[in-house]
Amino acid sequence: MASRTPYPEAARELLRQTLFTAARDHLLERPWSEVTMSDIAAAAGVSRQTLYKEFGNRSEFGLALTIHEGERFLDAVEAAVLAHTDNPRAAIRAALELFLRTAAEDPLLRMVVTDDGSGGMLSFVTSQGMPVTVWATARLSAVIEEGWPQAPDR
């Protein structure tokens, strides 16, 4: 029997998912620079205080949202890579095709990729992006090590 997630942990994860979904919905309509914490809290059905208590400030929430969306994206990239462990070239091709298709089709990812700095999200993957870069590099390194354990470390 699988272990159960304790209620406080499950409730916190549900809150976070609800807040991320609310933010994503707003970001489909307008740039991050125009979305307020009040907008997100109201769309999620919680108080601003709850949102701030969970994330600290708007910048921390934006970074957490960027990582959340990055996780969704990297889950798909990892699956594409691991589906081709018998052929590293096919794995890279599948990952790049997924990246390009997602960058073209996903409105939030497209917003980040095409942000000229005025939309407010670009900094989460550039000037404030060290946590995102370190995390994404570790994830991609892990999938390469999993798919090709015989590959040299470098």
Say what the pLDDT of residue 131 is: 72
Mean pLDDT across the chain? 87
From the list 51, 15, 30, 49, the residue with the least C-alpha distance to 120 is 30
pLDDT at 24 over 80: yes
From the list 79, 23, 71, the residue with the least C-alpha distance to 46 is 23
Distance of CA 6 to the CA centre of its chain: 24
From the list 110, 29, 122, 109, the residue with the least C-alpha distance to 73 is 109
What is the helix (H) or strand (E) element at residue 29, kind and residue range?
none
Q: What is the per-residue pLDDT across 37-95, written as a single tens digit (0 to 9) for each?
A: 999 999 999 999 999 999 999 989 998 998 888 888 889 989 999 999 999 899 999 99
Residue 131's φ and ψ, nearest 5 degrees, are: -60, -40
Residue 44 CB contacts under 8 Å (≥ 6 apart), including other chains: 15, 18, 19, 21, 22, 51
pLDDT at 128 over 70: no
Say what the pLDDT of residue 1 is: 62
Percent pLDDT > 70 in the chain is: 94
Q: What is the per-residue pLDDT across 100-117, written as a single tens digit (0 to 9) for each?
A: 898 888 877 777 777 777
Mean pLDDT over 1-22 rounds to 92
Mean pLDDT over 130-147 rounds to 83
From the list 103, 36, 109, 114, the residue with the least C-alpha distance to 68 is 109
